[in-house]
Amino acid sequence: MELGPSSGKISVGASAASAPVRWGVVGTGDVSRGLAADITEAIGAHPHAVASRNATRAADFGRDLGFERSYGGLDPLLQDPEVDIVYIGTPHGTHHDIAIQALRAGKHVLVEKPIALNRAQAEHIAAVAAEEGRFAMEAMWMKFSPLFRRVMDDVDAATIGEPRSVRASFGVPFPTDTGSRWSAELGGSTLLDQGIYPITFAMALFGSPTEVLARGTTRPDGVDLAVHVTLEFEDGRYAQLSASMVDFCELSATVNGAQGWLTVLPPFWAGSRYRTHAASIGPGLLDGVETAVEIVGNGFTPMIEHVNRAILAGQRQSDIHPLSDTLAVFEVLDEVRSQLPLHGR
């Protein structure tokens, strides 16, 4: 199965090549609301329709955020011929099924991370997208942020010398009444909800690991509550990563190199500042030098505009976050879960 970006031309629905991409949003939670607000401001995007199981909630969401139409269910939105792309912002456990339905209905899809619950489901989405000739991407917004791009540029420029290790964590003790993250039926998981960020960060730098060692805490129903992971890479490089929804794990990320280190200040996946400590700084080594970038909107705008450009250019995948990257991360996520209690027995 071909998973790399494709230059083959595809239809973008009823839109002309120069017209804005018309977005449909499925799900009206906080993340959908933040992303939808950025759709209204993004270049090349048009807020067309929103769908929710609750028609009143959909109508309120659409009115608040300037969407033309609202639907009390998924099917009417997928049957709307003017929807070009569907953003899926529903609970994790529903992502795969809704993405397949949207692709079969002829829509492009941007699926909130995680794109699915496991690699097999992610592969199915990739296969159907290829079969239908549609664009599909996981909404890993971190990789499109100006901060992430600047950090990767600095690492590539050897600002801290050859990168040798990564440390990243995302732990917050969320209240137990905060939505689907606590539901086994809906795919609740600190690994999939939070741990996916540090793992993606490390793999963006070092590629796929040669060894995975994971430990954690899992509820009797299978919901993982806290994980800590060591990834080993070629040439002795490594990453130490953690996530939790019951304890704090400091919300920064650090890349350590042969000539210094670089720390992305909290929250590393959605922030605006990082500090570089390089041997050449001399007496100021411990203080470092801070770099700040601007966050546009709620932080989703760069990703939305990238997706718009890709669709209008006829691409089936992103050249920044292709499905091959998503599948590689899921290879690790699946291995981590297999090593946790109640998984892989």
Does 7 reside within a domain?
Answer: no
pTM exceeds 0.85 for this model: yes
CATH of the domain at 126: 3.40.50.720
What is the pLDDT at residue 279?
79
Alpha-carbon dihedral sign for residues 295, 296, 299, 305: negative
What is the pLDDT at residue 10?
34
Domain residues for 132? 21-140+300-316
185 and 269 inside one domain: yes
The DSSP 8-state label assigned to residue 105 in this structure reads T
Does 10 reside within a domain?
Answer: no
What is the pLDDT at residue 138?
98
156 and 236 inside one domain: yes
How far apart CA 268 and CA 152 sit, in angstroms, is 13
181 and 265 inside one domain: yes
Question: Would you call the peptide bond into 114 cis, given omega within 30 degrees of 0 as the criterion?
Answer: yes
Residue-by-residue DSSP string for 192-251: IIIIHHHHHHHHHHH-S-SEEEEEEEE-TTS-EEEEEEEEE-GGG-EEEEEEESSS-B--
What burial letters (b/e) apply to 212-250, b meaning 16+ CB within 10 Å? bebebbbeeeebbbbbbbebebeeebbbbbbbbbeeebe
245 and 306 inside one domain: no
161 and 98 inside one domain: no
Per the structure, the count of domains in the chain is 2
36 and 85 inside one domain: yes
How far apart CA 317 and CA 41 sit, in angstroms, is 23
225 and 260 inside one domain: yes
Ranges of the chain with pLDDT below 70: 1-18, 343-345
What is the pLDDT at residue 282?
72
pLDDT tens per residue across span 93-124: 999 999 999 999 999 999 999 999 999 999 99
71 and 172 inside one domain: no
131 and 95 inside one domain: yes
Does 323 reside within a domain?
Answer: no
